[in-house]
Chains A and B, each alone.
Chain A
C-alpha cells in the first residue's frame, strides 16, 4: 500500500507547484463496552485517506480525498493547486517565506501486548468483571466499563523527497459508576477517561484500570451521602486527574501560537498572551516548570515528526515560572519572527489541515511529598477528577468542577464533599502555586477529545503532572 502511494504521489505532483506534500493516514480501531451488565454493540472502524497540499506563488491549498487511486490523488492535487493559485497574493501567510521541510524518518509506538493477540472473549470477560464490580449496590443505577483501541499509520511525502513513516497504537480504558437517590445523582469515573496512553493492552495494568472498579463504585456511594462543598477562599490541592484539565485549558491553549496570531478568534478564541511576553513574562511561581515533550514513549501524543514534517523535540515552555516559548509549528513560527516554537503542527486526520496543537504538555515534578503538602494546609480542599470545564475565549477567567473532594483541616484530609468547583484567572492563578508534588505523585495521562480549528478538529493530547497545591482559591459547591 505505502509503496503504491509513493509511486502515485511521484506521478501526480503538479509541475506548477512550488511545494507539494501528501499525508496518508490509515486507521483501524475497535470499541468494547459493558454497560450495566450488558455488552454494548461491538464495533470496528477502518479509515483511509490522504491530504494533498500545494503552495504556489505564496498561496496555499489543500484537497483531501478518500479515493487513493492515482486518478483520485491526481484530482486532489489539481484541486489543491487551484486553491493555491486562487489564494496567492490574498493569503495571510506568504508561503514563499515558510521553510517547509523534506524530512526522512520513522516512529513507532511501544507495544508489549498487541490488542489483536488477546481473544475477543477474554477482553469481554475482563469488561464484564469490572462492570460487575461497579454494580455493587442497588443505588448504582448506571455503570460502564470500556476499552477502546486505535491504530494509526501515517506517511508524509514531499515533492523534495521527504518521507516520514509513523505507526501509533492507542488504548483508552474507562470506568463509570452513577449513583442515585431521589433527585440526587452523582457520577464517579476512572480519571474522567484521562488514563489513555500509547501502547497495547498492557496499558490497563500500567494505569491501574484492572481492579479499580470497586473503588470507583464505593466513592460514588460516598458522594451520594456527602455534604455539599463549602464556599470560601482556601488552599486547593489538585490531583493529577484535575491538573490535566488545568494545564490544558489555562497553559496549553493560551500558548498556542495560532491563537496568539488570531487564526482562532472566530471559534476557539484568542489568548491573553501576546508575542512580547515570551522570554520575560512571569506565568507562575518559581515552582512552575512546563515542557512540551513528545518524546515520552507511553504518552498519548508522542511522535517523531509533526504533520508538517518537523522533528519533535522536548522543550521547556515555562521554566522557573518564566514564559519561554509558544506552541507554534513551522508555519506559525514563520509568521512570528524571533519566536522559537515547537513541532506541534498537527491534524486530527487526513481530512483536516494541520494547525498548532498541544501534543504532550507536562508539568514537571517538584520536591513535595503528598503528605507534606496536606500537612502544610490549615484550611483547604483536595479535589480529584475533572467533570466540568469552562474558560473565556482569552483563556483567562476559568471555572472548573471535580467529581470528588475532601476537606483539609489542620493538616489532615477529613470529610468527603460533593460538587466541588473553583474559579480563577489564569494570569494570577499560577502565581499562587505554592507546592509541586514529587515524582511519586506524577501521573502520565491525556485526553482524546481536544476540540479546535475551523473546520473543526478533535485530537489526542497528552498531559502529565504531579499533584499541585495552590493558595487562596475561590472554592464553592452546588445548589
Chain B
C-alpha cells in the first residue's frame, strides 16, 4: 500500500495549479473479524478499506474532501482529479481561514512492522478449543493497519502495523463474567493458554454466590483496565488546548484554581511507547512524549495545528481531537503481589463500564462496575459482587484518596473498531483508593 499511496501522492502533485499546496492523509486496513458467542462463531468476515483525505490549499483559503479509494491506481487517480476540481471550485467561494496551519518543513518518516500474524482459521481453532465446555463470547480482530501522510512539499510519512486483538469473556451466568484480552503482533499458543488459565481461575471465583453491598464509601482496587477507562473519560476534552482555552476541560479547577491530584500521578502521551503513528493529518510530527500531568499538577496540553494558530502557541503534533492516543501513567511503588493484602477489606474492580460526567467542571464521573468485581475481606477474595454504580471526582480518587499505584503496569492495546481498527494504547498501573463512592 505504501508504494500505491506514494504514486497517488505524486499524481496529486501533478494536479496542482498556481500556488496551490495539498496535504493528504491515508488510512487503510485489511482486517479479519471473527465474533464468538457461546464458544461458537457468530459472524466471521473480512474488511478491506482505503481512505484518502485531502486539503487543497491556496494561501489561507482551503477546502477539504475525503474519498474511499478502490485500490486501483488508474481508477483512483481519475477520482482524485475529479475531487481536486470540485474542491478548487468550492474554495473560490470560501473566505480565508485564520486558523489554517500545516507543516511546511519537510520531515519524512517510515515505520514498517513485519507481518507475523496467524492464519485466521488457525486462531479460530485455538479459540474454540479454549472455549470448549465454557461460555466464551468476544471478538478476534487481526490484520494490517496502514497510515500515511503526503504533501506537495515532498513530505512522505508512513506507518504500518500488523496486530491481532482477541477481546473476550468467559461467562458464568447472567452478568457474571471474567473479561480479558490477548493482543499483540505474533500469536503464541502458550501465552494464549496462560491467559485462558488465568481467566478460568477467575471464573471459578465468579461461580460463588454473589454478594450485594449497600451504597456507601469503600476501599477499592482499580485494575489497570479499570484505570484505563477512567483516563479514557478524562481524555474526552481533558487534555486538549482548545478545551482548556475555552474553559470546557474537566480539569478546569486544576487550571483555574490550582487543584492538584496526588503527587504520585504523572500522565503522559507517550507516542514512542505506543503503536499509533507519530505524525498527524496536517503533517506535523509528534514528540516521543508530552507530559500532561506531572506529580499531580497540570503541565502541558495536546496542541493541534488549528489550536496552535488560534491561540498562538506551537503545535505538538496532536490530531484535531487533541486526545491522547498512547497514554501512560507512571508506575507507583505498590507491588502487585501485595494488592489484596493492602486492600484488606473492600472491592476489587477488574473493569468499569459506561463512564460519563455527573459534574464536568468538578471532574466528577459516574459509571458502573462490570465483569469480575470481587468482595475482599482481610486480603482474601470472598465473593463476586453484583454490579454497582459509582459517582466520584478525579480529585478524590486520584487525589487525596489515592493510597498508591502499582509498581507493575499493563500495556493495553485498544480493541476499538469504530470506522476502522484502533491503534490507541495505554500503559497503566493499578490504583488502590480509599473511600470510593458507590451510589446505586
Contact = CB atoms under 8 A, between A and B. Distances in A.
Interface in A243-263: 261-263
A458 B420 CA distance: 11
A77 B69 CA distance: 19
A385 B362 CA distance: 20
Contact of A64 (B49, B72, B366): B49
A72 B71 CA distance: 10
Interface in A187-218: 187
Interface of B is mostly: strand
Contact of A66 (B71, B97, B248, B257): B71
A406 B364 CA distance: 22
Contacts of B50: 66
Given A66-B48, A456-B417, A390 B247 contact: no
Interface string A172-185: 00000010101111
A124 B128 CA distance: 55
A270 B179 CA distance: 14
A64 to B, nearest CB: 4
Given A66-B69, A87-B41, A265-B137, A478 B416 contact: no
B308 to A, nearest CB: 15
Contacts of A401: 356-358
Contacts of A432: none
Interface in A462-479: 477-479
Interface stretch (A291-299, A310-318, A391-399, A436-444): A391-399
B408 interface: no
A284 interface: no
Contacts of A44: 63-66, 86-87, 90
Contact of B45 (A61, A69, A180, A391): A61
Nearest to B40: A92
B191 interface: no
Contact of A92 (B42, B121, B439): B42
Contacts of A48: 68
A67 interface: yes
Interface string B63-91: 11111111110010000000100110010
Contacts of B360: 185
A60 to B, nearest CB: 7
Given A87-B41, A394-B174, A185 B366 contact: no
B440 interface: yes
Given A44-B64, A270-B175, A83 B368 contact: no
Contacts of A46: 65-68, 83
A458 B257 contact: no
Nearest to A457: B418
Contacts of A2: none
Given A391-B354, A479-B359, A42 B389 contact: no
A39 interface: yes
Interface residues of A, number: 82
Contacts of B418: 451, 456-458
B402 interface: no
A142 interface: yes
A393 B55 contact: no
B95 A39 contact: yes
B118 to A, nearest CB: 14
A45 B252 contact: no
Nearest to A54: B45
Contacts of B416: 456
Contacts of B83: 46
Nearest to B33: A455
B195 interface: no
Contacts of B71: 66-67, 72
A120 B87 CA distance: 12
Nearest to B254: A183
A187 B49 contact: no
Contacts of B68: 46-49, 66
Given A72-B70, A419-B359, A392 B368 contact: yes
A384 to B, nearest CB: 17
B354 A178 contact: no
Interface in A344-374: 351-353
Contact of A91 (B41, B94, B139, B357): B41
Given A63-B45, A388-B358, A478-B359, A393 B175 contact: yes
**Across the A-B interface, the 7 shortest Cβ-Cβ residue pairs:** A62-B45, A478-B359, A479-B362, A142-B246, A454-B139, A180-B247, A455-B417
20 contacts: A42-B94, A49-B49, A49-B68, A61-B44, A65-B48, A67-B71, A69-B72, A83-B44, A93-B42, A121-B93, A183-B256, A183-B257, A185-B247, A265-B171, A266-B138, A389-B354, A393-B370, A393-B387, A423-B440, A457-B418
Interface of B: 31, 33, 35-38, 40-50, 55, 62-72, 75, 83, 86-87, 90, 93-95, 97-100, 121, 124, 128, 137-139, 141, 167-169, 171, 174-175, 177, 179, 246-248, 252-253, 256-257, 353-362, 364, 366-368, 370, 387, 389, 391, 393, 416-419, 421, 439-440
Given A43-B66, A72-B70, 5 more contacts: A63-B48, A66-B71, A178-B248, A269-B370, A399-B440
Interface of A: 38-39, 41-49, 53, 59-69, 72, 76, 79-80, 83, 86-87, 90-93, 119-121, 124, 141-142, 178, 180, 182-185, 187, 261-263, 265-267, 269-270, 351-353, 387-394, 397, 399, 401, 419, 421, 423, 425, 451, 454-458, 477-479
